Amino acid sequence: MSNTNKTSLYGNSARYEMEGAFVLSAAGAVSSYVGDGVTVVKNGTGLYDITVANPSNLELVKVLSCSASLADATIGTVKDVGVETAVAKDATTGAFEMTVHTVDASGADVDEATSGLTVYFSFVIQTARMSNPLD
């Protein structure tokens, strides 16, 4: 699994790119994940909340892209993956969050029955640095 996290600054605006991955074990549990400042938590049948820390306190201006994909051919019950909830900024923690879901052949949310399925996720957002009263 690879990991990319980069910010390109343009004056007071920035383009923030995040790529990461997580691996599912039996019953759809998260066995591991990769990404700078990333955590992945199972939130229901086939639903996974991805949280990315925001230590630079960047403000979300616009979601430019948001995607999820399977790393390999399907190995069990999951036949596809998609973005359930696009990137948003948590009002309390300031972290960026998105939710992806795994689905069966009919499109219904489903947990993976076999271990080892890797899910890639990525997003690109336009941000602005929040003003800091100490600056």
Calculate the CA dihedral of residues 37, 38, 41, 43 and round it to 10 degrees.
110
The pLDDT of residue 1 is above 60: no
Q: Average pLDDT, stretch 33-41?
A: 89
pLDDT above 70 for 56: yes
Domain ranges in the chain are 20-126
Query: What confidence category does residue 3 fall into, taking pLDDT thresholds of 50, 70 and 90?
Result: very low
According to the model, what pLDDT value does residue 47 have? 94
Question: Of 57 and 12, which is predicted with more confidence?
Answer: 57
| pTM of the predicted model over 0.85 | no
pLDDT value of residue 11: 63
Predicted local confidence at residue 7, as pLDDT: 60
Mean pLDDT of the residues in the chain: 84
What are the residues whose beta carbons fall under 8 Å from the beta carbon of 128, sequence distance 6 or more?
12, 13, 14, 58, 59, 61
Per-residue pLDDT, averaged over 63-67, amounts to 93
Position with higher pLDDT, 41 vs 13: 41
* Ranges assigned E (strand) in the chain: 4-10, 13-24, 30-34, 38-44, 47-52, 58-70, 80-89, 96-103, 117-129
Q: Which of 41, 59, 37 is nearest to 129 (CA)?
A: 59
CA-wise closest residue to 47 among 111, 106, 107, 90: 111
When pLDDT is averaged across residues 76-91 and rounded to a whole number, the result is 89
Q: Which residues contact 29 (CB under 8 A, 6 or more apart)?
A: 42
What tens digit of pLDDT does each residue of 93-115 get? 899 999 999 999 899 999 988 88
